[in-house]
């Protein structure tokens, strides 16, 4: 059973930075897609960034050039470095995992593709 716990959320002013962390357990990183998702009040959950076992990344257009997903294999930790934050980045951020499928060249950003989720961490960006 894969378990995920996020940390690192908080409040920051527009233009600032935050780094989110996720500590997965119960999985083999080379066989899984790990992703970051977010959900703002009244909106659907959306994919932000994903990383496969080989290190290939996928980003939503809205965060390209501002957010960076990475993994520290030694510490078994997934990160999301968020720079140049905007008020519209305000949301609950979730870490998620799914076992990779053979036909996935990159990890998907569709929330329905993922079946393991953390409880989330709140990010608030003020203008």
Write the CB contacts of 47 (distance below 8 Å, at least 6 apart in sequence): 35, 36, 37, 58, 60, 108, 109, 110, 111
**90: confidence class by pLDDT, cuts 50, 70, 90:** very high
Three-state DSSP at 111 gives helix
What are the tens digits of pLDDT across the range 16-67?
999 999 988 887 777 899 999 999 999 999 999 999 988 999 999 999 999 9
Q: How many of the other CB atoms lie within 10 Å of CB of 99?
A: 14
Q: According to the model, what pLDDT value does residue 29 have?
A: 78
Q: Which residue has the higher pLDDT, 10 or 23?
A: 10
* Structure tokens that stand for 1 in this block: 């059973």
């Amino acid at each position: 059973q894969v378990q995920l716990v996020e940390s690192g959320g908080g409040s920051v002013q527009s233009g600032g930075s935050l780094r989110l962390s996720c500590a997965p357990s119960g999985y083999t990183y080379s066989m899984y897609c790990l992703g970051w998702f977010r959900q703002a009040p009244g909106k659907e959950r959306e994919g932000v960034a994903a990383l496969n076992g080989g290190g290939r990344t996928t980003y939503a257009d809205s965060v390209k050039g501002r957010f960076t997903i990475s993994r520290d294999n030694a510490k078994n930790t997934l990160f999301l470095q968020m720079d140049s934050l905007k008020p519209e980045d305000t949301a609950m951020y979730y870490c998620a995992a799914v076992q990779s499928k053979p036909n996935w060249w990159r990890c998907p950003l569709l929330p329905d593709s993922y079946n393991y989720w953390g409880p989330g961490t709140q990010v608030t960006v003020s203008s």
